[in-house]
Amino acid sequence: MKIAVLAVQGAFAEHRRKLEALGAECVELRKRTDLQEAFDGLVLPGGESTVQGKLLKELGMFDDLKMRIADGLPVLATCAGLILLAEQISNDEHTYFGTLPVTVKRNAYGRQLGSFRAESTFKGIGKIPMTFIRAPYIERVGAGAEVLAEMDGKIVAVRYGRQLGLSFHPELEADNQVHELFLELCRADCSDDRRTTLKNA
């Protein structure tokens, strides 16, 4: 099982550590030629979505990744990653991959509640700790997207096909269950023989 972790900016090392601890192999995506390796899933980490979106385009990785995600590549997207996937951002004119039918609000918890930790229920797992850092939340969920978690009445995790979008940072917790769920999704996908490579990257 090989997982690609977008590593142009942000909290990618934490995801890598966790995935490797769970037995997955990781490849860091830093430049276009990194896309030549076969991988079974993709992690879009937290960080700054505007910077990540810009770098993805400048580095020539944006279109290829968008095509693969739309084509069913399993994705775990946290915080800025969720913003990159969202079809719409209510307080920003930009959109990026737009493959996840949700509207998100960036920096939605305001300055005072910029960063906090809490517990809430994640569908199929149960109660888990959640760390929010200048996090978005999900204001609208489109057809086919399933709500996986809410916090204080706000949607903070969704699934749409093989895309998991989370407002919070499971890579910062001792708990492994969200990453385990993602790897299960990748394993199921892998056995469907949908592993993708980019021939002319």
Closest approach of ligand GLN to the CB of residue 45, in Å: 8
Q: Does residue 15 touch ligand GLN according to CB under 6 A?
A: no
Contact window for ligand GLN (CB under 6 A) among 1-9, 31-39, 76-84, 170-178: 76-84
Nearer Cβ to ligand GLN, position 73 or 79? 79
Answer for which of 128, 133, 149, 186 binds ligand GLN (CB under 6 A) is 133
Cα–Cα distances in angstroms (integers) from residue 76 to residues 84, 114, 170, 176, in the given order: 11, 22, 10, 13
Answer for which of 33, 36, 90, 107 binds ligand GLN (CB under 6 A) is 107
Answer for which of 32, 134, 154, 194 binds ligand GLN (CB under 6 A) is 134
| b/e code 165-201 from CB counts within 10 Å (16+ = b) | bbbbbbbbbebbebbebbbebbeebbeeeeebebeee
Counting Cβ atoms within 10 Å, is residue 136 exposed (0-12), middle (13-18) or buried (19+)?
Answer: buried
Q: Does the active-site annotation cover 179?
A: no
Q: Does residue 69 touch ligand GLN according to CB under 6 A?
A: no
Q: Does residue 106 touch ligand GLN according to CB under 6 A?
A: yes
Map the footprint of ligand GLN across residues 135-194, applying CB under 6 A.
none
Nearer Cβ to ligand GLN, position 167 or 189? 167
What's the residue count for the chain?
Answer: 201
Closest approach of ligand GLN to the CB of residue 177, in Å: 20
Tell me if 44 sits within 8 A of 6, measured CB to CB: yes
Catalytic residue among 169, 173, 179, 186: 169
Q: Counting runs of H as helices and runs of E as strands, what totals does the chain give?
A: 5, 12
C-alpha to C-alpha distance for 79 and 106, rounded to whole angstroms = 9
Q: Does the active-site annotation cover 79?
A: yes
Answer for which of 16, 39, 41, 47 binds ligand GLN (CB under 6 A) is 47
Query: Helix (H, G, I), strand (E, B), or coil: what is residue 111?
Result: coil
Strands 75-78 and 86-89, by their bridges, are unpaired
Residues paired with residue 77 on neighbouring β-strands, in sequence order = 44, 165
Residues within the interface to ligand GLN (CB under 6 A)? 46-49, 79-80, 83, 106-107, 133-134
- The residues annotated as belonging to the active site are 79, 169, 171
